Chains A and B, each alone.
Chain A
Amino acid sequence: MAKLYGVSTHSLLRPSAVRVDLVGQFRRKLGEKNDKHALAALALLHDLAAANVELEQRLQKLTLVDYPPERRVGRGRVEQQAEELAAELRSRLGLGLGAIPDLVGLLELELGLRIFVRPLHSSVAGVYAFHDELGACVLLNRLHPRARRRWTIAHELGHFMTTRREPSVALSGTKKHQDDVFADAFAAAFLMPSATVRRIFDEYVGQEGRFSARHLILGAHRFGVSLEAFGRQLEKLEFLPQGTYDSLRHRGLDERTVQQVLGTQSESDATEPGARLMMLAAEAHELGLFSEGQLADMLVMDRVDVRRIVDAFTSVELVDAPVEARPG
């Protein structure tokens, strides 16, 4: 049976293994239009989320979940509703109007979302799924730039806020469903609140009297979004005429220009998505709960990579000293 399903015998027999049917849920939603890369990404998301939950249960370190209520998109302008919901969530998270430097860390810690990052097919930016046993989970494409991954998380957050129980796959270049139009508008408003965009625009234009490609690059960098995302937001808010971004691209705005303005920038996130899962895995290994072979199977990883993780999380033991508990 293990051979038939392409899984290990141990994973079938392990009583603590978490098994739910995310892929079936997705197949039912898409009907005939199943995309094999999307299904593969969803299967991987299932494995990672299931491993995360199992490790938490075995280590008795459960994720604290604090989901805001789900809100259905109602009648009226989608973009306005997206902006209102993004503002509400920002307020709930105590974010004010500033840029969000550590989006992954924020969503993991404050809401309890499970966020992972792995190399996926280039057509898949990310997948989102929800299940009562797994909670809300997101898998992002490691091969995409950081700004794109931030957009994908914010987009999936839009789904989480409105159609929580429906799995979603962010695919490149496909016709957008109405839910995705909302999720994109939500992502834009959540990452780039209009009041802050206005302030930044005024600051730049006030300095030099005109808006240049350099300002586009600096603004996108401040928000941690792509040039296109910032450019489109400026156009949508009517700070720039429609078509300005495309025109700049045609006139040679590219990665080289970005490097000239910003220098070489680090691509790393403040919080590496999935870092908590790796920490749990290393701890479980150290306690002898799981072997490296079991972890490689659960985390869908090469064994040498599992060893690297165990080494990374267990080689530095500078904080072994007991910490006194604070009363109350």
Chain B
Amino acid sequence: MSPGVVLDASVILNLLGSGKVTTILGAIPGRRIVVEVTSGEVLRHPLEPKSDGDPLAPLVLAGLLELVTLEGAAVSRFFDLVGAEPPNDLDDGEAAALAVGESLGVRVALDERKGRRVASAVLPHVELACSGSIFADAAVSAALGADLADALFSSLVNARMRVLVEHDAWVRGVLGPRAALCPSLRRRPR
């Protein structure tokens, strides 16, 4: 896998919701890619719900995100994933992120249980990341420094970030008593 990450909408929303998206993206080594189809699913900034602008445009302009389109082999993979028989069909954004990740040989950050299940079965050669692993990454944690707990808390409360079972203990450890205030952490891990 090449360094970098393709971000699905389920993860981008959490990074936006952290209030520290520029710090986080700046600390991720390699390419930070979002597919055009996926970006179309990020309709509102979780911290600025009344704003009409494209929440990703400033990040693309600042060079923190690279906007790519579906091309070549990724197009047919996209249609395979979107048009699969239910319940293995994926939404456009997830399918686009996985198809581009496969075609570029870059890991894909995806939080959705269904998307991860399908990706593991159909694209086992594509490495998966998630919001939890991005926050827990040493470089990202170091860049956030003392703001790590606040950024996590903000993502959990404002974007209702999903936390995979493998990161649950780490997230609770960082948050301390504030973990009880996070609605998406109250859900029973499955």
**Chains A and B form a bound pair:** yes
Q: Measured between C-beta atoms, what is the minimum distance from B99 to chain A in Å?
A: 12
Q: State whether the Cβ of A74 lies closer than 8 Å to any Cβ in chain B.
A: no
A296 to B13, CA, bound (A): 13
Q: State whether the Cβ of B91 lies closer than 8 Å to any Cβ in chain A.
A: yes
Report, as a range, how many residues of chain A touch the other chain: 20 to 34
Q: Measured between C-beta atoms, what is the minimum distance from B89 to chain A in Å?
A: 6
- Residues from chain A with a CB closer than 8 A to the CB of B10 are 292-293, 303
26 contacts between A and B (CB under 8 A): A8-B92, A9-B82, A10-B90, A10-B91, A13-B89, A14-B86, A14-B89, A15-B85, A15-B86, A288-B113, A289-B87, A290-B114, A291-B90, A291-B112, A293-B9, A294-B90, A296-B41, A303-B13, A303-B42, A304-B17, A304-B44, A307-B160, A308-B183, A311-B160, A314-B187, A315-B183
A14 to B41, CA, bound (A): 18
Q: What is the interface of chain A, defined by CB distance below 8 A to chain B?
A: 2, 8-10, 13-16, 58, 288-294, 296-297, 302-304, 307-308, 311, 314-315, 317
Contact A10 B87 (CB under 8 A): no
Query: Given the known A-B contacts A9-B79, A14-B86, A58-B86, are A293 and B183 also in contact in the complex, defined by CB atoms under 8 Å?
Result: no
A25 to B160, CA, bound (A): 39
A106 to B72, CA, bound (A): 54
Beyond A304-B44, A315-B187, 15 additional pairs, beta carbon < 8 A? A10-B89, A10-B95, A13-B83, A13-B89, A16-B86, A291-B90, A291-B114, A292-B10, A297-B92, A303-B41, A304-B17, A307-B160, A307-B184, A311-B187, A315-B186
A194 to B44, CA, bound (A): 49
Of chain A, the residue at the smallest CB distance from B81 is: A10
A13 to B78, CA, bound (A): 12
Chain B 88-116 interface mask (CB, 8 Å, partner A; 1/0) = 01111111000000000000000011110
Q: Which of A9, A14, A292, A307 has the most CB of B within 10 A?
A: A292
- Residues from chain B with a CB closer than 8 A to the CB of A2 are 92
A15 to B89, CA, bound (A): 10
Q: State whether the Cβ of B140 lies closer than 8 Å to any Cβ in chain A.
A: no
Contact partner, B162, options A9, A15, A16, A307, Cβ 8 Å = A307
Q: State whether the Cβ of B59 lies closer than 8 Å to any Cβ in chain A.
A: no
Q: Measured between C-beta atoms, what is the minimum distance from B12 to chain A in Å?
A: 10
| 10 shortest interchain CB distances as A-B pairs | A293-B91, A307-B160, A13-B83, A291-B114, A294-B91, A291-B112, A311-B183, A315-B186, A8-B92, A10-B82
- Residues from chain B with a CB closer than 8 A to the CB of A290 are 87, 114
- Residues from chain B with a CB closer than 8 A to the CB of A15 are 85-86
A302 to B9, CA, bound (A): 11
A307 to B112, CA, bound (A): 11
- Residues from chain B with a CB closer than 8 A to the CB of A9 are 78-79, 82, 92
Of chain B, the residue at the smallest CB distance from A14 is: B89
A296 to B91, CA, bound (A): 10
Q: What is the interface of chain B, defined by CB distance below 8 A to chain A?
A: 9-10, 13, 17, 41-44, 46, 49, 78-79, 82-83, 85-87, 89-95, 112-115, 117, 158-160, 162, 183-184, 186-188
Contact A291 B86 (CB under 8 A): no
Query: Given the known A-B contacts A288-B87, A293-B9, are A10 and B92 also in contact in the complex, defined by CB atoms under 8 Å?
Result: yes
Contact B160 A308 (CB under 8 A): yes
A17 to B43, CA, bound (A): 23
A2 to B113, CA, bound (A): 25
- Residues from chain B with a CB closer than 8 A to the CB of A58 are 86
Contact A304 B46 (CB under 8 A): yes
Contact A297 B188 (CB under 8 A): no
- Residues from chain A with a CB closer than 8 A to the CB of B117 are 288
Of chain A, the residue at the smallest CB distance from B41 is: A293
- Residues from chain B with a CB closer than 8 A to the CB of A302 are 43-44, 49
- Residues from chain B with a CB closer than 8 A to the CB of A8 are 91-92
